């Protein structure tokens, strides 16, 4: 099975990715779903039992999860994006064979064996979802945020992508096409955001700080110079 792209204003084929038109002129409140999937419910129940027995420290677990979710993984992806911004040959390789290009930087592992990079342009904005479960490229983005796994995001971003992006604070011009890429167990996507203006003299390391986790999912754009912090992947609240 291959991944699919849903475009908000076309019925065309892009390579082998089928696009559907899903752009509605209305919005609903964006729910950051609070009810748990069965597996998450079992994990939380087990965590409660182990905590009550004094076998684990929830605070320590939270620190570990936060580190992998917001630091280690997204920093890898940010390095990929920054190199693509500064190295045209690497960007071309990334577009042609993302799996190999990412592997060349040492960022490969489970959940990232088959990758595709999709590049934002002034005409096209890409956003990623997994409508069936929560397939996510762990080696380059770390752990998926809670909202990415929630049923409201997984269903609504396909049906009304502009409304969902607006709820994340991302308002796109009407003439920008939104493409929604549906990840699967066989193929996962990495959004390459556009390089911000005014960054011509920045180093690769400085550019990487402009790349947030959410910009590589497609629910945000890269940060403007001066807005970056040492936490390159703070993204939206989980």
In three-state secondary structure terms, 84 is: helix
Catalytic residue flag (residue 79): no
Instruction: Choose, from 135, 150, 183, 215, the residue flagged as catalytic.
Output: 135
Instruction: Choose, from 5, 130, 150, 215, the residue flagged as catalytic.
Output: 130
Instruction: Choose, from 12, 21, 133, 155, the residue flagged as catalytic.
Output: 133
Catalytic residue flag (residue 27): no
Our CA angle for 187, 192, 198, nearest 5°, is: 175
Instruction: Choose, from 79, 134, 183, 215, the residue flagged as catalytic.
Output: 134
In three-state secondary structure terms, 235 is: coil
Tokens of 128: 């990623």
Catalytic residue flag (residue 130): yes
Catalytic residue flag (residue 133): yes
Whether the Cβ atoms of residue 175 and residue 203 lie closer than 8 Å to each other: no
Specify whether the backbone of 54 is left (phi greater than 0), alpha (psi in -120 to 50) or beta.
left
200: Cα separation from own chain's centroid: 25
CA-based torsion, 122, 187, 209, 64: positive or negative: positive
From 35, 65, 23, 6, select the one nearest 152 (Cα to Cα): 35
Catalytic center residues: 130, 133-135
């Amino acid at each position: 099975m291959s991944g699919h792209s849903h475009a908000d204003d076309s019925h065309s084929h892009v390579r082998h990715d089928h696009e559907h038109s899903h752009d509605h002129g209305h919005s609903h409140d964006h729910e950051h779903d609070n009810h748990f999937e069965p597996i998450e419910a079992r994990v939380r129940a087990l965590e409660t039992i182990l905590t009550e027995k004094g076998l684990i420290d929830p605070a320590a677990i939270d620190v570990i999860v936060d580190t992998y979710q917001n630091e280690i993984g997204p920093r890898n992806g940010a390095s990929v994006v920054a190199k693509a911004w500064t190295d045209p040959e690497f960007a071309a390789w990334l577009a042609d064979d993302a799996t190999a290009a990412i592997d060349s930087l040492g960022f490969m592992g489970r959940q990232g064996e088959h990758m595709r990079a999709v590049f934002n342009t002034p005409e096209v904005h890409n956003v990623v979802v997994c409508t069936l479960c929560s397939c996510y490229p762990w080696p380059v983005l770390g752990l998926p945020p809670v909202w990415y796994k929630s049923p409201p995001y997984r269903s609504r971003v396909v049906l009304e992508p502009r409304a969902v992006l607006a709820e994340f604070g991302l308002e796109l011009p009407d003439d920008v096409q939104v493409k929604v890429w549906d990840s699967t167990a066989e193929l996962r996507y990495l959004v390459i955001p556009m390089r911000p203006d005014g960054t011509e003299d920045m180093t690769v390391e400085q550019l990487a700080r402009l790349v947030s986790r959410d910009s590589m999912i497609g629910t945000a754009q890269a940060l403007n110079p001066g807005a970056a912090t040492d936490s390159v992947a703070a993204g939206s609240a989980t």
